[in-house]
Amino acid sequence: MRAQSEENFRLWAADVIENMAASTEDELDYSFLIDDIMKLYYQPLNINTAQREDLQRIFFLSDAHIEALLFQRYQVGTFWSVYELQAVEGFNRQIIEWLEPLIVFEPAQSAQVRKFRSRGDLFVRTQWTMETPRGYKAVTDNPPPFQGDKMKYYSRMEWQPARAIEIGFVTEKDPGEPMFDSNIATMDYFSGYLSWKPERFLQQIIVGQFRMSSGQGLALQTGMATRKSNMTTSIRNRNANHRPSLSVNESGGLNGVLVNLGTSGFRITPFVSVKQIDGRLSENEAGEIIIASLKTDGYHRTLTELSQRRNVQEVAAGFMGKVHLGRLILEAGHLEYRLEYPLLPEPRPYNIYYFRGNQMRNSWLACQGSVSNVFLFSEMALSASSTPAVTGGALFSAGGGMANMSLGYRYFPVDYSAPFGAPFSESGNAAGETGVYAGLELALPAGFLLNAYLDYYQHEWLKYQTRAPSNGYDFLGLLTYRPKRTWESGLRYRYKEKTVNLSTATPDFPVGVQKQHQVRLQTRMSPDASWTFTTRVDCHFVNAPNKTDAEPGFYLAQDVRYRSPGGKWNLITRYALMDVDEYENRIYAYEPDVLYSFSTPAYYGRGSRWIVMGKWTVMRKTDLWLRFAQWHYTNRETIGSGNLTINSNVARECRIQIRKRF
């Protein structure tokens, strides 16, 4: 049951992740998505005592679902079995099936007397590309640019020796990075945490790496930002205010001490973080050291990258307060941010409003609450900007949970800057954006479900690769057909219109409108607990102002998953054929991967992709994953660029992971 549920969550997460990957160029750490869920496996929530914040950890429950569940519990008092959840507004069979392994049905007073068992989870992973990229090869008399070998190593451990104590660490070495030598004494990335929850006035202390989130993430959001996805009505930030973190995202996190004080009605959380981060250093005319740009990719493979490794100290300190006033929750906070050297990017028209200097501060005020069946949320945040950034919205349901809707508004001044901010927005750098969002989720007769959103946005200043103020809109419609528990099909259409640069030969009209049409048809059949078949077709069209004869991008893939009876082993295979000539037509597809690793590569080029992955429970509480994947292009002689160039049209990758639970 557990193994099956784990697969279900991953399938669900796949749909969400694909949309996120398609809407950002940044590499995101998607493990945030299932981190909490995995913890709930081992410590299921008592559905009769769970608070709203606890339920928010379950990412497939919408706000409307949570509201309906709490209301139903208020009415019936105690849930005794999973069958009673069918009476909750908006809960369909799929949600109840997914929820079942994450919850227990116990009287309110029994949770505290349940015997605690210590729990630990250790992962060790390695992966490598069988072909050797150019960066690992010596050229004539010059040594290879990459100082390390092509292996990637990753380990992660979480241990809860007592009910109130959690310990964790994570290590990582990327391909090409040296380790245990004069360049890097240990592994490139090493982090961890110690968390203690005394459960009195002192609620929690975290020493080490942690993530924070407040309000709608305008000023503080170091977890995963809320983004547009198939969950069209989920536009509110639902991340927990603070959590220990084992993210390997080397920039943007917090590392220090966090203390959470207070009662259930009022909490205050002071924190301080001190980190060494990467920067491209330079000198100004006065001979002073400045930061030309911050380096956020986390790679330390070449001598240049190694010279930029952790060469800037970043200090962040602040506090966050939270008050529960009945159905209203207020949050406020302040953050002081300081860099060791001033950040002074080279002036360009698009970046003249970017933050410059070495000191920044943000303050914010947020509130959320419900009135009848309408859930409202908003946040206002200040930076050095003369006007505050504002975001807000409403979620409401109608027809007994048959229709859920969301409305959102956002305005970020062009000179707004927040080093740890990541609000719901169209672009990665939200400054200068104004937008309106409307989302709908509508249950239709005969097993149909319609999800749709429309997002209009405009940028009041130039952006990187957009040489003029711009606007655009983004529409998504997803019609899902689920006539029975074992079969689900979906037709998705996405239309996106945005402003892009034209060629430099037309200086009078620097930008034009690019229109993207994306169509996807997917069907998934799970006839029994063992088999899952997924067939998917994607077609992307782009009408670019300077490209009139672009061919559509095409992708057709078949996945087959088999899980042995009893779940001792499983096997997943994929064969995909792609034909994508234009980069703008690239197609993102979530790939089967080992637990806590997510790959959503962009399919671009002509050729095929195949993946085989197996998981085997070698012995009790010990799992082994093996994964093999291959790209085979027919229209390329080489793969990659720069030091990552492979002189072949085939690239093969192996991945091995071992998990030990204790």
Partner 1 sequence: MCFNSPSYIHDPGNRPRVIVIILIALLHVSPILSGAVTFKAPSGQILGRTGALNDDAWSFFTNPAGAAKMVVPVAGIGYQNDYLLNELSSRSALFVVPTSLCVGATGFSHYGFRHFSIQNYSLMAARELAPWLNMGMRFNYHLRQQTGSKNFGLLTIDTGIQFFPDEKVSIGFFVSNPGQVKWDLDEIVEYHPTFVSSAIQYQPVPALKFELGVAKEMELPAAISFFMEGPLHPQFLMRGGAATSPLRLGIGAGVIWQSLMFDIGLNHHSTLGLSSSFGILFNLPSIKRRQSEAGI
Provide the binding-site residues for partner 1, judged by CB under 8 A: 483-484, 486-487, 523, 525, 527, 530-531, 533, 535, 537, 539, 551-552, 554, 556, 558, 560, 562, 564-565, 571, 573-575, 577, 579, 606-608, 610-612, 630, 632, 634
Query: Given the complex with partner 1, which of 236 and 655 has the nearer CB atom?
Result: 655
Q: Is 153:147 a contact under the CB 8 Å cutoff?
A: no
- Smallest distance, Å, CB 604 to partner 1? 15
- Smallest distance, Å, CB 654 to partner 1? 15
- Taking the C-alpha atoms of residue 564 and residue 380, their distance in angstroms, rounded to an integer, is 52
Query: Given the complex with partner 1, which of 350 and 562 has the nearer CB atom?
Result: 562
- Smallest distance, Å, CB 521 to partner 1? 8
- Taking the C-alpha atoms of residue 527 and residue 141, their distance in angstroms, rounded to an integer, is 60
- Smallest distance, Å, CB 346 to partner 1? 44
Residue 464 is encoded by which pair of tokens?
């990187």
- Smallest distance, Å, CB 655 to partner 1? 16
- Smallest distance, Å, CB 576 to partner 1? 9
Query: Given the complex with partner 1, which of 165 and 521 has the nearer CB atom?
Result: 521
- Smallest distance, Å, CB 129 to partner 1? 17
- Smallest distance, Å, CB 631 to partner 1? 11
- Taking the C-alpha atoms of residue 534 and residue 574, their distance in angstroms, rounded to an integer, is 9
Query: Given the complex with partner 1, which of 78 and 634 has the nearer CB atom?
Result: 634
Whats the size of the chain, residue-wise? 662
Query: Given the complex with partner 1, which of 291 and 580 has the nearer CB atom?
Result: 580
- Smallest distance, Å, CB 86 to partner 1? 24
Query: Given the complex with partner 1, which of 59 and 633 has the nearer CB atom?
Result: 633
Cα distances from 590 to residues 375, 424, 435, 602, in angstroms, run 32, 22, 28, 9
Query: Given the complex with partner 1, which of 279 and 490 has the nearer CB atom?
Result: 490
Q: Is 320:269 a contact under the CB 8 Å cutoff?
A: yes
Query: Given the complex with partner 1, which of 473 and 610 has the nearer CB atom?
Result: 610
- Residue with token string 């209203």: 328
Beta bridge partners of residue 271, listed in sequence order: 258, 318
- Taking the C-alpha atoms of residue 610 and residue 591, their distance in angstroms, rounded to an integer, is 10
Query: Given the complex with partner 1, which of 265 and 483 has the nearer CB atom?
Result: 483
Q: Name the 3-class secondary structure at 546.
A: coil
- Taking the C-alpha atoms of residue 273 and residue 294, their distance in angstroms, rounded to an integer, is 17
- Smallest distance, Å, CB 640 to partner 1? 19
- Smallest distance, Å, CB 525 to partner 1? 4
- Smallest distance, Å, CB 539 to partner 1? 7
- Smallest distance, Å, CB 96 to partner 1? 21
- Smallest distance, Å, CB 533 to partner 1? 5
- Residue with token string 């068992």: 117
Q: What's the angle, vertex CA 624, arms to CA 623 and CA 629, rounded to 5?
A: 140
What DSSP line would sit under 114-143, residue for residue? SPP--EEEEEEEEEEESSPPGGGS-BTTBP
Query: Given the complex with partner 1, which of 186 and 558 has the nearer CB atom?
Result: 558
Phi, psi of 11 (to 5 degrees): -65, -40
- Taking the C-alpha atoms of residue 598 and residue 588, their distance in angstroms, rounded to an integer, is 12
- Taking the C-alpha atoms of residue 127 and residue 351, their distance in angstroms, rounded to an integer, is 38
User: Shortest CA distance to 171 belongs to which of 185, 156, 150?
Assistant: 156
Residue 295 CA, distance from chain mean position: 20
Query: Given the complex with partner 1, which of 11 and 28 has the nearer CB atom?
Result: 11
Question: Which regions of 241-311 does DSSP assign to beta strands (E)?
Answer: 242-244, 254-262, 266-283, 289-295
- Taking the C-alpha atoms of residue 622 and residue 662, their distance in angstroms, rounded to an integer, is 9
Query: Given the complex with partner 1, which of 429 and 573 has the nearer CB atom?
Result: 573
User: Shortest CA distance to 249 belongs to which of 129, 345, 139, 154?
Assistant: 154
How many other CB atoms are there within 10 angstroms of residue 407's CB atom? 16
- Taking the C-alpha atoms of residue 595 and residue 189, their distance in angstroms, rounded to an integer, is 20
Query: Given the complex with partner 1, which of 354 and 487 has the nearer CB atom?
Result: 487
Q: Measured on CA atoms in the order 217, 218, 221, 226, is the torsion positive or negative?
A: positive
* Helix axes of 31-42 and 2-22: crossing angle, nearest 10 degrees: 160
Query: Given the complex with partner 1, which of 385 and 489 has the nearer CB atom?
Result: 489
- Cβ-proximal residues to 572 (8 Å cutoff; 6+ apart), any chain: 559, 560, 561, 562, 592, 611, 612, 613, 614
- Smallest distance, Å, CB 487 to partner 1? 4
Q: Is 308:277 a contact under the CB 8 Å cutoff?
A: no
Query: Given the complex with partner 1, which of 86 and 634 has the nearer CB atom?
Result: 634
Going by the DSSP 8-state scheme, the letter that residue 24 receives in this structure is -
